[in-house]
């Protein structure tokens, strides 16, 4: 394998710290997390103690302000090696929500929320997707109507929200100007303690049981000026500006997850024997594994270039879309073949390959479906 040149010694040292945190605080409890269908607050607090939650947060608020997206990528890769639920739950917080609270908030808002954000006492989520809108963010129906005495009244719901069952603070996209599609959307920080906020029970998903994905409801919640994130009616633009980071983060996560399970499958193919020889030595399986390894390594080269572009502030929405859909597609293709190589054992929940296969299917849907990604790319081609 050609050595990756994306990371330097500081990133490698950081990777060691993340791996040690996972070894001590996560790996011994993964089965417990799956059975309880949640990642306990203790994991968040431990991650906070190690400085993993505040990579983009200024030091004055308890973060490390690394100023280098490669640290995010290292953390994403190591979490994904454990399982996708762990990676998706924590990344929504430190990789997706963080830029909204750091780049778009006021000093008062940062002082109010970022210290808890960094130490794990405040868990966050982001509410974009709605039951009736799906990937069409411009068509959302959740509304924030101006109140005569100041502020807004928020009504509506969001669905498929990662961390939705436990989040203390949710960035919510709501329509503030009727009949205006994307131009009339604003972002608000909604605290779970506010009157009128409620959530459904965690959704019964095909995979990722550890992630407390839920539907959220907003019933006449009174929002003040202090809850507005960014500019009024500028929410759609803010989301479009920050979505590339979410999508390259998804690509990094998906690929690391697939490669970890592929490596484990290669070991299985060496150890598992049939007809007097290792199953990996059969020509079909040997060729297949050669294809899968090549596909992941070639994909890694492109994703690494996108991460480097993100570090420079040059990653475009189109290139992020390419990385997102392709990595999700490669991930699902690789894991499907891995299940096949395990045979009947690959369909047993006690095997990591089976759980990984189930966990991965949603990656072609979330962070913008693969079809939406191709539409973004197609528009850039002039169609």
For residue 13, give both structure tokens.
């040292």
Please enumerate in sequence order all residues whose Cβ is within 8 A of that of 255, keeping only pairs 6 or more positions apart, or say none.
296, 299, 300, 303, 327, 330, 331
Helix (H/G/I), strand (E/B), else coil: 184: helix
Please report the DSSP string for 44-101 in residue order: HHHHHHTT-TTTTS-GGGT------HHHHHHHHHHHHHH-HHHHHHHHIIIIIIHHHH
Phi first, then psi: give them for residue 309, nearest 5 degrees: -65, -40
With b meaning 16 or more CB within 10 Å and e meaning fewer, what string describes 200-213? eebbebebbbbbbb
Three-class SS of 25-36: HCHHHHHHHHHH
Closest of 112, 44, 73 to residue 255, by C-alpha: 73
Looking at the annotation, which residues are catalytic? 246
């Amino acid at each position: 394998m050609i050595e990756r040149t994306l990371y330097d010694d500081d990133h490698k040292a950081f990777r060691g710290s993340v791996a040690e945190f996972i070894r001590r605080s996560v790996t011994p409890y993964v089965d417990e997390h799956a059975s309880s269908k949640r990642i306990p607050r203790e994991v968040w607090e431990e991650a906070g103690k190690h400085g993993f939650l505040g990579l983009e947060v200024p030091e004055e608020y308890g973060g490390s302000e690394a100023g280098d997206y490669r640290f995010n990528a290292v953390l994403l890769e190591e979490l994904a090696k454990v399982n996708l639920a762990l990676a998706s739950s924590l990344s929504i917080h430190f990789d997706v929500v963080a830029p909204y609270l750091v780049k778009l908030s006021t000093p008062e808002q940062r002082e109010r929320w970022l210290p808890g954000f960094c130490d794990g006492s405040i868990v966050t989520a982001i509410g974009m997707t709605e039951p009736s809108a799906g990937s069409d963010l411009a068509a959302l129906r959740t509304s924030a109507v101006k109140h005569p005495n100041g502020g807004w009244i928020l009504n509506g719901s969001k669905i498929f929200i990662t961390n939705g069952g436990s989040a203390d603070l949710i960035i919510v996209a709501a329509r503030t100007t009727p009949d205006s599609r994307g131009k009339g959307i604003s972002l608000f920080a909604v605290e779970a303690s506010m009157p009128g906020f409620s959530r459904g029970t965690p959704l019964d998903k095909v995979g990722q049981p550890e992630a407390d994905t839920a539907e959220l409801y907003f019933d006449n919640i009174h929002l003040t000026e202090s809850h507005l994130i960014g500019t009024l009616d500028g929410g759609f633009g803010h989301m479009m500006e920050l979505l590339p980071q979410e999508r390259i983060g998804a690509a990094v996560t998906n690929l690391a997850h697939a490669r970890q399970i592929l490596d484990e499958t290669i070991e299985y193919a060496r150890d598992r024997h049939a007809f007097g020889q290792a199953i990996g030595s059969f020509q079909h399986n040997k060729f297949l594994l050669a294809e899968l390894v090549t596909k992941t390594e070639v994909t890694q080269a492109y994703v690494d270039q996108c991460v480097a572009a993100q570090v420079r502030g040059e990653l475009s929405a189109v290139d992020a879309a390419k990385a997102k859909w392709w990595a999700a597609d490669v991930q699902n293709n690789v894991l499907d073949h891995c299940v096949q190589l395990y045979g009947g054992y690959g369909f047993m929940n006690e095997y990591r390959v089976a759980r990984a296969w189930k966990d991965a299917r949603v990656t072609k849907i979330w962070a913008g479906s693969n079809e939406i990604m191709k539409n973004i790319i197609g528009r850039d081609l002039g169609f």
